[in-house]
Amino acid sequence: MKHITWVTLNLVIVMYLFQAVVTCNARAMGSAQKLRVLAAKYHVTSILVFGDSSVDPGNNNNLQNTWHKGNFLPYGKDFGHSHPTGRFTNGRLSTDIIAEALGYRNITKAYLDRNLMEEDLLHGVSFASGGSGYDDYTANVTNVISLRKQLDYFKEYKIRLRKLVGEESSHMILENAVFILSMGTNDFLQNYYVDPTRSQKFTIAQYQRFLINCMETYIKEMHSLGVRRLAVVGMEPFGCMPLIKTLKNSRKCDEDMNQVALSFNLLLKAKLSALEATLSMRTAFVDIYDVILNTLRNPSKYGFTEIEKGCCGDGLTEFGTSLKGLNTCTDHSKYIYWDAVHFTESMYYIIADEAVKSIITSL
């Protein structure tokens, strides 16, 4: 079977994303229909996601002993009829937008969604869990789903898929799927900088290399499980989060933290190149650092007016369960951040659009 190249696939995605960002009218519906034809032609079967709250569509809803949930308003304020799904934003995530670009679904469903149907398995799911990281100890801090457990769910998914469509078809679906891995911020913000377990053992540079080694181990396991096309999302400039600036009592981004994110991205990108050279796997590094930083520095260019705080509550400190029942700003589209940590759907559109363009550039 002929494989789609990353360049061809992402050209398809960019065609749609550009249309989606510019307009939401009938022409976008026509574009989506064309993409369904293109996706079928190039055997793009599904999107499968691992990661943290940046790509968690609601897996944490079913966890009993964690506060790291988003299944209540004002999360989901602009999702359908104000329906909180567990996504840590007001609407859809970047992976939802990319899934629509592939032409099958306008959302990526959570693997642990109690309403997940067998046919949903055919087009992909997200195993991601808000609060998770490359370091499995990070997930333990907030009692969420570690990357190790996410891979266990993927193994279970493979069994279910095989029972559903048979050995040959399930192999074809996975071989032609697009896998996305998006995490890392929690390893620093809720682990290294807060819990002494890692910071007493590692310097920041040592911990970065430790995370890269963790990532390498998991990517090799993904490859052994049949992953052949993997996009890894880089670290955001987390020193610019409203929460961090509030804690630092500054209106400026924390440059030391941003430098940690930037240097980690360099290590990550180099490791991906090395892995691609030794494994029969196509990899892509999605560099969102500059995309986000550029938007924060030039908000009016993208239609934003507020960069200092999130749309919900005071916008400076609240996220997760502390956000429950709080009021929101009037115009959601003018805010880059939804809460003190997570982005709005408007920002996720920009991340999805620009990140995919950077994939094409890097390839």
Residues belonging to the active site? 53, 339, 342
How many CA atoms within 13 Å lie on the side-chain side of 98? 31
Burial (Cβ within 10 Å: 0-12, 13-18, ≥19) of residue 312: buried
Token pair, residue 217, equals 């181990």
Across 33-46, b (16+ Cβ under 10 Å) vs e yields eebeebbeebbbbb
Find out whether 346 and 291 touch, Cβ atoms under 8 Å.
Answer: no
Residues 6+ apart with CB under 8 A from 225: 151, 154, 155, 158
Answer whether 115's CB lies under 8 Å from 363's CB.
no
Angle between helices 289-297 and 345-362 (to 10 degrees): 130
